[in-house]
Amino acid sequence: MNEVDQDREIRTTAVDFSFGELLNLHRDKEIVIRPEYQRLFRWSNEQRSRLIESILLGLPIPPIFLVENDDGVLELIDGLQRTSSVLQFLDHEAIDEPELELVGCDILQRLNGETFASLKTVEKLKVKRTPIRATIINKSGDSFVKYEMFKRLNTGGSLLSAQEIRNCSSRMVQGGEAFYEAVQEMAAKDCFTRTIARLSESTKEKRADEELVLRFFAVATYRDGYKGNIEEWLDAFMEGVLFGDIEFKIEESTERFEKVFSLIDEKLSDQAFTRFNDQGAATGRLAPAYFEAVVASFDEKYEELKNVAPDTMLQRLKSAFVSHEFKDATGPGANTIPKLHQRIAAVGSHLVG
């Protein structure tokens, strides 16, 4: 095995930590629980309570995964929901959360209403002393190894969305945190949030707004990388940026993004990316295929569109969406490079009149 292969080999250590030990390590900052890896408390109080109930019943707890940083500190990359729920129960102040009062326990119903402080001593000790298997991914000089490890751990049966995985995995790579924070800052800009107001709240909770930022840059700068699968396309674009294969200057990209969405907001506001009914009224949620075609057109034809009156722009957009060219490119078999180009061309030609 050559030196590169040795560097890329995944080296792991299996350790059994008690939850009491995890709490102490967290207090001493030897284990970092970063909420950006997973939304800290997607679990409901009932789900957290049933985990505590499972521990007291002696049921096995799935393992957690940690990655060792260059300074030896361990970062939790999988199992945050389980770990943070128990730590909240043991010492809610340690993770800056309200005290957890157990609810929804259906086997040990006497636990409902209990807090850690009100448990019997034997039950307190059982929670603190219960072990959980931890797989530690030992430090590696290869960022790609850490990136791939997190992505693979959280792909498949995971509750994380594709964009939440991108948020987390990008932070495994040097410079990745700056890139993703720039994405988040763009997603928070007023001109953008007004145009995507029809995006459902449930998808926003899973970072769909941040995914649309990424999709804008993918369609604007990496269109030919599209192979028919949106997730793979966005992954490939982000990985190209993170590993230096695609140039992405944050300041210049942010200016480009704000310029385009300020114009879309001025001309179309929240009607830019949605369907229209027979009476001409905007209806329904944001449609991603419509988003791609409109943002690409505004990016490419900015100078031709900036002086078009909003009312005229809206009528041209409606005409584009009902055109044969556009409908043909958004129906069955639309997930191809030619169809992507076709729907962008259809919208662009209508918008410029």
- In this predicted structure, what is the pLDDT of residue 127? 96
More confident call, 146 vs 176: 176
- In this predicted structure, what is the pLDDT of residue 212? 97
| Separation in Å, CA 19 to CA 33, 72, 128, 132, 155 | 14, 20, 5, 7, 26
| Separation in Å, CA 182 to CA 163, 164, 167, 186, 220 | 14, 15, 11, 6, 17
Q: 318's torsion region: left (phi>0), alpha (psi -120 to 50) or beta?
A: alpha
More confident call, 284 vs 22: 22
Q: Which of 151, 176, 173, 175 is nearest to 164 (CA)?
A: 151
pLDDT tens-digit profile of 215-261? 999 999 999 899 888 999 999 999 999 989 999 999 999 999 999 99
Burial class of 251 by CB neighbour count within 10 A (0 to 12, 13 to 18, 19+): exposed
- In this predicted structure, what is the pLDDT of residue 87? 93
Checking if the pLDDT of 3 tops 50, the result is no
Element (H, E) at 65: strand 64-68
Asked if residue 165 lies in contact with residue 155, where contact means CB atoms within 8 angstroms, the answer is: yes
More confident call, 148 vs 22: 22
* Type of residue found at 53: E
Q: How far apart are CA 34 and CA 168, in angstroms?
A: 9
* Type of residue found at 32: V
Neighbours of 176 (CB within 10 A): 22
> Which of the 8 DSSP states describes residue 326?
H
pLDDT tens-digit profile of 61-119? 888 888 887 788 888 877 888 898 999 999 999 888 899 999 999 999 999 999 999 99
Domain boundaries of the chain, sorted by first residue: 3-155, 175-351
| Separation in Å, CA 164 to CA 195, 243, 257, 274, 295 | 22, 19, 21, 24, 23
Asked if residue 214 lies in contact with residue 332, where contact means CB atoms within 8 angstroms, the answer is: no
More confident call, 337 vs 172: 337
pLDDT tens-digit profile of 11-39? 778 899 999 999 999 999 999 886 555 44
Asked if residue 73 lies in contact with residue 32, where contact means CB atoms within 8 angstroms, the answer is: yes
Query: Region 158-166: what's the mean pLDDT?
Result: 69
Query: Region 177-199: what's the mean pLDDT?
Result: 93
Q: Which of 64, 67, 89 is nearest to 79 (CA)?
A: 64
- In this predicted structure, what is the pLDDT of residue 143? 66
Share of the chain above pLDDT 90, in %: 60
Q: Considering the entire predicted model, what is its pTM?
A: 0.68
CA atoms within 13 A on the CB side of 147: 20
- In this predicted structure, what is the pLDDT of residue 155? 55
Checking if the pLDDT of 2 tops 50, the result is no
More confident call, 335 vs 47: 47
